[in-house]
A = this chain, B = another copy of it.
Amino acid sequence: MAAEEIFKALAAPQRQHILRLVRDEPLSVGQIATECDASQQAVSHHLQVLKDAGLVAVRRDGQRRLYLVDPDGFESVGDFVAELWPSGLARLKTTIEDRQT
Interface size class of A (residues with CB under 8 A): 35 or more
Within the oligomer, what is the number of copies of this chain?
Answer: 2
Indicate if the CB atoms of A95 and B79 lie closer than 8 Å: yes
Spot the interface stretch: A13-21, A27-35, A38-46, A57-65: A13-21
Indicate if the CB atoms of B11 and A86 lie closer than 8 Å: no
**Secondary structure at chain A's binding surface: helix, strand, loop or mixed?**
helix
Is A1 located at the chain interface by the 8 A CB criterion?
Answer: no
Q: Looking across the interface, which residue of chain B has its beta carbon closest to that of A10?
A: B7
CA distance in complex: A83, B19 (Å): 10
> B-contacting residues of A (Cβ < 8 Å)?
3-4, 7-8, 10-13, 16, 19-20, 23-24, 69, 71, 74-75, 77-93, 95-97, 99-100
